[in-house]
Every structure is written in structure tokens, then in C-alpha cells.
Amino acid sequence: MDIVFDLLLTLHLLALLSAGAAVVGVPVLMGRMATVGAELRPTFGSVAQNLGRVAQIAFATLLVTGVLMVWVRFGGIDGLSIWFWVKMGLIVVMAVAMAIGGRVRGNPQAANIVAWVSRLALAGVVLSAVIAFN
């Protein structure tokens, strides 16, 4: 089962990389949209939407591979530390931020706040995962 876990972990880390790129990249693109000419705004918007879709797919992949890794390695959630539950709570924060982020794009101030909440939650997820599983 070690090879299965290793493959799941690889997929999980690749999805984390993709989600992180989107969480950081979309706000940067949206910030730049204000400074580019009107002819480039649709292109920037399209790239931001594509990164948003990548983040959603990556998030779903993280959920599936995460559950499978816990099941393969530990046989369930019994005995997992409080840091596992901190990580799960931060994942919920990220999911809510993703949902809100799609609705506040027209409000740059709100979008910036949501972006920072997403970034901090992602950093917290990584930190709590390291503590929980190390």
C-alpha cells in the first residue's frame, strides 16, 4: 500500500501546487487589469477565470486524495490529532472564500480581502498538515 499512498501524495501535492498558483495568481491578474488597456482586459479576465477553474479542480482533487490518503495510511480518522481538525477547518475557510471570491469580483476591496483570507488559509492548511502528519 505504500506505493498507492505515494501516488496519492504526489497527486495531492500537485493539486496543492495548482491551487496555490491560482490563489496567488488570480488576485495579481485582477490587480493588473486596472492598469492595462481595454483591449487586454478580456484576455486577463479569461486567464483569471481559467485559473479559477484550475483552483476548483485542484480543490476537488485535494479533497479526494486527502480522504484516500487518510484511509490508506490510517484506516480512518480515529486517533488523528487536533491539527488534522485545524487543517479541515481551514479547508472549509478556503472553500467559503472561493465561493465568495466568485461573487465579489466587481468589488476590488472585497476581492482583495477574500484573496488574503484564501492565502492565509492555504498557508495554515500546509502548516497544520505538516504538524498533523509529521
The CA–CA distances, whole Å, from 95 to 7, 40, 52, 73, 111 equal 25, 30, 12, 25, 15
User: What DSSP state is assigned to residue 22?
Assistant: H
Residue type, 97: A
| Structure confidence at residue 32 (pLDDT) | 83
Residues sharing a CB contact under 8 Å with residue 114, sequence separation 6 or more, in sequence order = 97, 100, 101, 104
pLDDT in tens, 66-94: 999 999 999 999 889 999 999 999 999 98
Q: Is the pLDDT of residue 44 over 90?
A: no
pTM attached to this predicted model: 0.81
